[in-house]
A = this chain, B = another copy of it.
Amino acid sequence: MSLIVQKFGGTSMGSIDKIKHVASKVIEEKRKNNDVVVVVSAMSGETNRLLELALDIGGNHYKRETDMIISTGEQVSAGLLSIALNNEGYRAVPLLAHQIKIKTDGSYGKARIFSIDAENIKQEINSGRIVVVAGFQGVDESGYITTLGRGGSDTTAVALSAALNADRCDIYTDVDGIYSADPSIVPEARRLDVVYFDEMIEMSSLGAKVLQIRSVEFAMKYNINLYVKSTFVDGPGTQIKYLPEGGKMEALQVSSVACDKDEAKISIRGIPDKPGIAARIFSAISDDGIIVDMIIQNISVEELTDLTFTVSKKDLKRALKLTESVAKELNASEVISDEKIAKISLIGAGMRNHYGTASKMFGILAKENINIMMISTSEIKISCVIDSKYAELATRILHEAFNLSLNNGGNGFK
């Protein structure tokens, strides 16, 4: 008998019929003689509806109240799934964050989990019940409800897996696993049998919305046996795990290509090339809660230099305003921005052992006359910012050139 944690997202919980289908997936696992703990998200659209209510009345600056409001979606879902399971003759019990003491810090809207008191859950499991936990929520020290940020139910599931020492954590979603590229761009994209934690973290930060990045970090820290599976199509899914010690050769040079069109770039020109200038610009921006992704500083000419960086498109307006005000103080010559960009990235744990991935990538793009505006690299990924009109083309030619559709046997030797 194993203990399985299952997590179902908003699309899976989108209607009464879909919730009944989710119940059948839970029962399938229970019938294999396993103990099951289920984590649920709000019905699709519900969190946005609630958030809009909160914003409409001016909730922008009142995150504690907003969390109290938006956490109700998961509460409703937990109740509904529990009813569906009971109706099928399986004893189920819905539990909320305050009942199982999912303690978090007080950062409403993006709280971090400190601890979970698993005793309550274990008792319910031991008496044969299926436990249905409302995802996305926690409680702070004073007992106020907190939420864990978009995709936070993934983190609830992974944290529960750690607290319960679960044998497996299955994240059910509307895709049947992690792909070598977005199949809507690259029809030949293949499902990966295995993705390594390092790769998954890069993918999540590159805008692959399959898993909340914090949940991957958590899973990595506690070495959770993690899978991404489809609620609607049966299949093995994608396993996310550690690259085994001494197994570096198992990793593919490149396992996937990602395309992110959600960023915009800002350039500030003609600023003094001396210490402290970059700090001044970026502290103004980060103080406002805006995350800067890529940064490039040009070689200076006559002690003047240019600085270019990218931010989320949704933050562009605010970031631009802040940059312009700093630019004025610095007597910079101009500030320009560009929303028509795309970030194309190659990811692969095997890059650590393969030289020449970057130069091969640049060569492929150059052959199609695609200009590279910015480059950023890590041990296991290379990202290039290009004109957004070439985004799909670049994704396809890179996918083909690195033979990403050919490795049908999964992530094995190359």
Contacts and interface: CB of A to CB of B under 8 A. Distances in A.
Interface of A: 16, 19-20, 50, 53-54, 56-59, 61-62, 64-66, 68-69, 72, 75-76, 78-80, 82-84, 86-87, 94, 96, 98-99, 143-145
A76 B20 CA distance: 26
A62 B83 contact: yes
B98 A86 contact: no
A50 B50 CA distance: 14
Contact of A57 (B50, B75, B83, B96): B83
A65 B83 contact: yes
A238 to B, nearest CB: 31
A334 to B, nearest CB: 39
Name which of A72, A78, A79, A99 has the most chain B CB atoms within 10 A of its CB.
A79
Given A16-B56, A99-B144, A75 B83 contact: no
19 contacts: A54-B79, A54-B83, A58-B87, A62-B83, A64-B94, A65-B80, A65-B82, A65-B86, A65-B94, A66-B83, A68-B75, A69-B80, A72-B72, A72-B75, A72-B76, A96-B145, A98-B98, A98-B143, A99-B144
A21 to B, nearest CB: 12
Query: Which secondary structure dominates where chain A touches chain B?
Result: helix
A258 to B, nearest CB: 37
B16 A143 contact: no
A267 to B, nearest CB: 38
B79 A75 contact: no
Contact of A69 (B61, B69, B75, B143): B75
Given A98-B143, A99-B143, A143-B98, A68 B57 contact: no
Given A68-B78, A98-B143, 11 more contacts: A16-B53, A53-B76, A54-B79, A54-B83, A57-B84, A62-B86, A65-B82, A65-B83, A68-B76, A69-B76, A99-B143
Contacts of A99: 143-144
A16 B66 CA distance: 14
